[in-house]
Structure 1
Amino acid sequence: MLSTGLPQGAVPRLERPGPLRDRVYEALLELITTRALQPGQHLVESELAGHLGVSRQPVREALQRLNTEGWVDLRPAQGAFVHEPTEQEADQLLTVRTLLEAEAARLAAANATGAGIEALEELLAQGLQAVADDDVDAAVALNARFHAKIMELAGNAVLAELAAQVDRRVRWYYTPVARRRGQQSWIEHRDLITAIADGNEQEATRLMREHTEHTRNSYHARTRP
């Protein structure tokens, strides 16, 4: 096992065609947001390069970009480490998420079509199955897709663009509490679908605000027994 904590074969080697530095960046960002690379973990250029099947240069460039964006900390004479978010950072991000998602739910209730509701119900069924299977990775991915679908149904391109900017950080914070939230999160999703299908803008807004606040509270409570 590499000192980066990734088992051999966990990440496929990158193909050469295309902008390699961008592909390395995306691969490392995905490993960080899914917590395959844990906050505080030391990132060794040579080992990451070997794991991804590339030279050290694109890895170095990707780490510099990730540092600029706040995903990685570059420490003089020590190297690169996955950023460890503070409670304040998480609270601020999740508070912004609540504002964006609540408005998206309101607009979705005003604009959603039958096909859109069916898509949400399908994601709900898949999410409940992932929870039943104790497949945390699938549950996190499906949760992101569920919220992205509501954002799509809202039909506001500017709102969707703003939400996309925080989406990966939301996944980063949601992953450690996904099992704790478990089935309850998807029960809340079911209630949201009902409000959106009924065109009840006020109820959809209220439910989404409560739903995202539950996630924020679960994140802050994650270290408590």
Structure 2
Amino acid sequence: MVEAPVLQLQLVTLDRKLPLRDQIYQLIRTLVIIGQLRPRQPVNEVEIADQLGVSRTPVREAVKRLSDEGLINVYAKAGTFVADISGSELEEAYIIRKALELESCRRAAEVTTKADTKRLDDIIAAHQTAIHRKRYAEAIRLDDQFHRAIAEINGLSMLWRAVDISKAQMDRGRYLSIPQPGWGEVTIVQHRAIARALGAHDAEAAIEAMGQHLDTSLQNTLSLVDSH
């Protein structure tokens, strides 16, 4: 059994005016995605509740939600553990994400304004700076911001939410893959191609560029997961 990490959750401040289960869900989800909670690591609901100063109920609800997303495995007698990063689940997440994001691109190409293009360019510039400075967590956040911005051009906030949930397994792999030399720069080039096509209202080019980008992301992630 993998030794449980010291999470230092007592340093986290929860907003008691907001649903605790949602905040705890997001907290544990982030720890799993960034790798602070590693595959096969035990998840101690009692310890988490004690450190956060809450009852076990919102922690249990958060863990159930993460179990439904495939990030945590709950075994009746053995305990609760972080799920492995599965190649088949990565590919399934990719299928879902690609279908949604290609449709997002198609719709965005019809309505992208100059202000939208500038916003995308600004995100790309900040992303490039983060990669150059080796701020990988920030780079991943800005990568997501770019894709979310495309959905927001369409006013499709639920679409991005569906993508965000489905891509959780891919995100875990991204925290392994982002430090690889040259991969971040490839992402920047691909994002520029997407933004350029959207600004030109060229739906076909935008869809092709997004498809190539997501294909590259999947292959990079699979290669890192296999190596680990």
Cα distance change on mapping 1:170 and 1:26 into 2, 3 Å: same
Cα distance change on mapping 1:67 and 1:162 into 2, 3 Å: closer
The equivalent of 1:213 in structure 2 is 215
The equivalent of 2:89 in structure 1 is 89
The equivalent of 1:18 in structure 2 is 18
The equivalent of 2:104 in structure 1 is 104
What TM-score comes out, normalization by structure 2 length? 0.85
The equivalent of 1:44 in structure 2 is 44
Q: Which amino acid aligns with 1:35?
A: G
Offset of residue 159 of structure 1:
4.4
The CA RMSD over aligned residues, in Å, is: 2.4
* Equivalent pair of 1:117/1:193 in contact (CA under 8 Å): yes
Q: SS of 1:121's equivalent?
A: helix
Q: Which amino acid aligns with 1:34?
A: I
Rounded Cα–Cα distance in structure 2 between residues aligned with 1:169 and 1:77: 25
CA deviations 1:161-215 (Å, max 9, x no partner) are 6435425444334332222331211111112111111222111111110000000
The equivalent of 1:195 in structure 2 is 197
Offset of residue 116 of structure 1:
0.5
* Equivalent pair of 1:49/1:59 in contact (CA under 8 Å): yes
* Equivalent pair of 2:170/2:218 in contact (CA under 8 Å): no
Q: Which amino acid aligns with 2:149?
A: K
Rounded Cα–Cα distance in structure 2 between residues aligned with 1:90 and 1:123: 26
What pairs with 1:1-225 in structure 2 (closer than 5 Å)? 4-8=4-8, 12-156=12-156, 159-160=159-160, 162-180=162-180, 181-222=183-224, 223-224=226-227
Cα distance change on mapping 1:138 and 1:84 into 2, 3 Å: same
Q: Which amino acid aligns with 1:203?
A: A
Cα distance change on mapping 1:64 and 1:98 into 2, 3 Å: closer
* Equivalent pair of 2:89/2:169 in contact (CA under 8 Å): no
What TM-score comes out, normalization by structure 1 length? 0.86
CA deviations 1:36-89 (Å, max 9, x no partner) are 222221112232223323233332332233223322111233211111132111
* Equivalent pair of 1:40/1:83 in contact (CA under 8 Å): yes
* Equivalent pair of 1:94/1:216 in contact (CA under 8 Å): yes
* Equivalent pair of 1:136/1:178 in contact (CA under 8 Å): yes
Rounded Cα–Cα distance in structure 2 between residues aligned with 1:117 and 1:138: 21
Cα distance change on mapping 1:164 and 1:118 into 2, 3 Å: same
Task: Tell me the matched-pair count.
Answer: 223
Answer with 108-117 or 96-105: which moved more.
Answer: 96-105
% identical equivalent positions: 27
CA deviations 1:106-131 (Å, max 9, x no partner) are 22222100110111011001100110
Q: SS of 1:134's equivalent?
A: coil
Structure 2: stretches of 5+ with no match in the other structure: none
Rounded Cα–Cα distance in structure 2 between residues aligned with 1:77 and 1:24: 24
